[in-house]
């Protein structure tokens, strides 16, 4: 189901143009018009879902093969030193369009992109406490 106010739904419906790379029954891939760097692409679900938590499992299962297809084309076309696939959920995670999408972008060692956390040893007691909370939710979801 489409959301009439969603820019990605409008792109899928053909109401707004895009640089479409690929389309199948469940996914749509296009160039990002606000790219981090050359080759920055998006893979979106055709069915409107706000984010990962809202998306249908079959739609999510279709995203990864499409992302692989686009990543292989990026690798061959641009020969980057790496490729990131990033998916954000909610404004605090950097999601600006509330329609499920994954970013795929080629990387260079000198491109200046940084992951937004430092890698430092965690408090094992706190990790276990959070682990137990997540496990309890998983057990109740069965």
List 99, 101, 103, 119, catalytic entry: 101
Task: Report the mean per-residue pLDDT for the chain.
Answer: 93
Asked whether residue 118 carries a pLDDT value surpassing 80, the answer given is no
Model confidence pLDDT, tens digit, residues 14-23: 999 999 999 9
- Going edge to edge, which strands form the sheet with 82-86? 20-23, 27-31, 41-45, 101-107, 82-86
Would you identify the CATH topology of the domain 7-110? Answer: HIT family, subunit A (3.30.428)
Q: What is the largest CA-CA distance in the chain?
A: 52
- Tell me how many helices (H) and strands (E) the chain has: 3, 5
Active-site annotation holds for 103: no
Reported as a single tens digit per residue, the pLDDT across 78-101 is 999 999 999 999 999 999 999 999
Domain boundary assignment for the chain: 7-110
Q: Calculate what percentage of the chain has a pLDDT beyond 70.
A: 97
pTM (2 d.p.): 0.89
């Amino acid at each position: 189901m489409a959301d009439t106010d969603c820019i990605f739904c409008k792109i899928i419906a053909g109401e707004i143009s895009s640089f479409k790379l690929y389309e199948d029954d469940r996914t749509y891939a296009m160039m990002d018009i606000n790219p981090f760097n050359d080759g920055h692409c998006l893979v979106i679900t055709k069915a409107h879902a706000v984010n990962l938590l809202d998306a249908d499992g079959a739609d999510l299962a279709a995203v990864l093969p499409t992302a692989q297809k686009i990543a292989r084309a990026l690798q061959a076309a641009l020969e980057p030193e790496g490729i990131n696939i990033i998916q954000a959920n909610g404004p605090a995670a950097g999601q600006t369009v509330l329609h499920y999408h994954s970013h795929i972008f080629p990387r260079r060692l000198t491109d200046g992109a940084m992951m937004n956390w430092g890698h430092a040893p965690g408090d094992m007691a706190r990790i276990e406490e959070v682990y137990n909370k997540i496990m309890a939710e998983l057990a109740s979801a069965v």
